[in-house]
Structure 1
């Protein structure tokens, strides 16, 4: 591939309290501004998903974390495209009333986006998802009946799906209170990544998860941070997931036959990772073999890791905006304050 086809890869792991991208699509402005300096911007769902909000750059490649890591490792190639056939899996634990609500959302998305949704199915057994924040301070959780999820995902693949959305029932726990205020860990991020990883690892198809949150508590809208606000606009999270899966690439083998029409990890120009969250196998591989990994100092996480203590050749920048020209920032039309933390709530004009 020529230099003009180089890919910028933006990685912000979910559920570890990243200062930028650790909330509800709050890194989307970063993705948009970086896309202006890139032929292609490769990122994963939690960077750009904003529940009902979606504002994706046209050169985005949207790929779940497991497959993204396989791409960085050189195990697969990808072909950017925008004509996916999307299938949806619903958790058996979702009530009939909530299911009808989500199906109305799907019909609205097809009519609005014009995307091809081949159909939906319901798991034979509930996943009984239970999110947790572990002793290390990042989110994890437990899932039951994983075999029915795998069976259902393979069924959709056999029916022609090229991308899969999963909507699982997840309790909205007390763990959410700090997250809502913009100061804590996303308590469901870990379990969401587990669900999509299972689906993508077993099918080889891009996937993304949209939770159906369960809560009996009244929401205190005055306490919600702008960073997490998009999750409290409506009940559904499917709009941003379906929108993103339109931009999911075709996954092909890493071989000579696919080299002429696909992109490999050799097409990566740079990989941007939070300052202390760089531990994926794919990132280590690129750091050791291609020296393309850049750690962003302003984006710290809950992980207790110091990159300067490791014998690895990272590059460092202070801010994501260090990679963007002043002209591009002005051209974007975005409010510069969204690139700073904290983001303040909008004030009343007297």
Structure 2
């Protein structure tokens, strides 16, 4: 079983409200039978069409995943539950975001956003920093594809006190030295976090994970032999609540030095293929999952990279890269798929989401779903990245679409939304109210009683 990322072109549409259906129809017509779409993103928009990337799982043998719900399935939320103010914070993986595109360097951002909401729903890319994970106390660590399905109205999240965490690690070809790093990290999490570790399973026949680049400049990849991991998950069903993964990712040797060279502006090459793997696991099995790369060999371990960009420093001081994953999965919320329970008041569903904060240029299913659910979307222009889609021309007329320059403004806007303060009321000049005739709504009565009130 193979997971790959493909580039496709979809005809242009100006119907912002109907884009999810438009993309679903076009993708289904372009993806061969026997392949399951795992993730989808628009990388560029022109009058000639949308350039898109679609990650797919090719099914082989006896394994049949064709009954898995489509990533494009959408259910309109029946109401907005205002009991809590819950914010989704996304910094998509593999786009080289200036904030959040490296090694947990959006951790301070997560703490800021968490300070203005009841629950912050975010994904591993935001807070994972090898041996460091500064997820706020009111933060929920949720795999990216699950956040998409949450916003699409397909699932809800159930808070937990703790999870039984299963670690599946690769049998390392260089011997036990690198395996011991992962085992020690797992035991350290049990001893210091109080994490319940069910067991460690060594994957004797490994996955083949390779980091690649798309033509749009995004970090993607290819994964072969996913069936080997699927067999383990199937066998251990019911014995664990969250899945930690530790495997090697093949990249050219020069990437290990070029990525840390400040004169070379390189997107993190490992994150894209990691997202492809965890998207697949969480989509098929409805479980929390996260991945940590294993050091590939001793020569990579021995590289002297000196003092690097602070945003990447967390990776330099680690050898296992695993603790951030274990800390996040320790209390990652469980996934509720039963349609009769999704909108239960004790769970977090699309009805409970109060806002989405996302970098500019990111036109994917989370953005489209939030706007379709009439969830406020706050686009941060200052977090530059590789995405090339200008969102304002599509959504500027949407009632709940906002653009800000930086995350400080985003935090202020969230506070305004939480307090029920109209954004317009704090802007100057403050427009006068429009008065219209009840007999002819098109007639502005200011002609007879002044220019407005």
TM-score normalised by structure 2 residue count: 0.68
Residues 200 and 151 of structure 1: is their aligned pair in 2 closer, same or farther, counting only changes over 3 Å? same
Is the Cα–Cα contact under 8 Å of residues 172 and 179 in structure 2 kept in the other structure? no
Deviation string 1:117-157 (CA, Å, 9 cap, x unpaired) is 11111224211211112221111111111111112223333
Contact 1:87/1:164 (<8 A) preserved? yes
2:190 to 110, 114, 130: 110
- Contact 1:178/1:185 (<8 A) preserved: no
For the pair 1:276 / 2:358, whether they are aligned, the reply is no
C-alpha distance in 1, partners of 2:395/2:133?
A: 39
Q: Does the Cα contact within 8 Å between 1:78 and 1:249 map onto a contact in 2?
A: yes
Task: Choose from 390, 396, 404 the match for 1:317.
Answer: 404
By how many angstroms is 1:99 displaced? 1.0
Question: Aligned residue for 1:179?
Answer: 259
Q: 1:324 to 1:286 in 2, by over 3 A?
A: closer
> For 1:60-96, what per-residue CA distance to the aligned partner results, in whole angstroms no more than 9, with x for missing partners?
1111111111111010011122311100111234532
Q: Find the residue that maps to 1:88 and give its secondary structure.
A: strand
The structure that is helix-richer by fraction is 1
User: Is the CA contact (8 Å cut-off) linking 2:357 and 2:410 kept in structure 1?
Assistant: no
Q: Does residue 245 in structure 1 map to residue 329 in structure 2? A: yes
Task: From the superposition, tell whether residues 32 and 199 of structure 1 become closer, same or farther in structure 2 (CA, over 3 Å).
Answer: same
Say if 1:166 and 1:209, in contact at 8 Å, map to a contact too.
yes
Equivalent residues in 2 for 1:67-146, closer than 5 Å:
67-93=146-172, 95-146=175-226
Distance (Å, rounded) in 1 between the aligned partners of 2:124 and 2:276: 13
* Secondary structure of 2:358's aligned partner: strand
User: Are the counterparts in 1 of residues 124 and 290 from structure 2 also a CA contact under 8 Å?
Assistant: yes
Which of these two proteins has the greater Rg computed from alpha carbons? Answer: 2
Look up the match of 1:333.
none
**Structure 1: 5+ residue stretches without partners:** 329-350
Report the number of matched residues.
Answer: 324
CA distance in 1, matches of 2:188, 2:373: 46
Is the 8 Å Cα contact of residues 89 and 153 (structure 1) preserved in structure 2? Answer: no
**Residue pairs, 1:1-350, within 5 angstroms:** 3-93=82-172, 95-158=175-238, 160-171=239-250, 173=252, 174-181=254-261, 183-215=265-297, 216-217=299-300, 218-253=302-337, 255-258=339-342, 259-277=344-362, 279-311=363-395, 313=398, 314-324=401-411
Q: Measure how far apart 1:291 and its partner are.
A: 4.1
Tell whether the 8 Å contact from 2:124 to 2:143 is kept in structure 1 after alignment.
yes
SS at match of 2:200: strand
Q: CA deviation at 1:2?
A: 5.0
Offset at residue 223 of structure 1 (A): 4.9
Higher relative contact order (CA 8 A, sep 6+): 1
Q: Distance in 2 between matches of 1:201 and 1:166?
A: 15
Please state how far the C-alpha of 1:172 moved relative to its aligned partner: 5.0
Q: What is the CA RMSD across the aligned residues, in angstroms?
A: 2.0
What are the ranges of 5 or more consecutive residues in structure 2 without an aligned counterpart?
A: 1-79, 416-453
Contact 1:86 1:117 in 2 (8 A): yes
Provide closer, same or farther for how the CA distance between residues 138 and 223 of structure 1 changes in structure 2, counting only shifts above 3 A: farther
The answer for the alignment partner of 2:43 in structure 1 is none
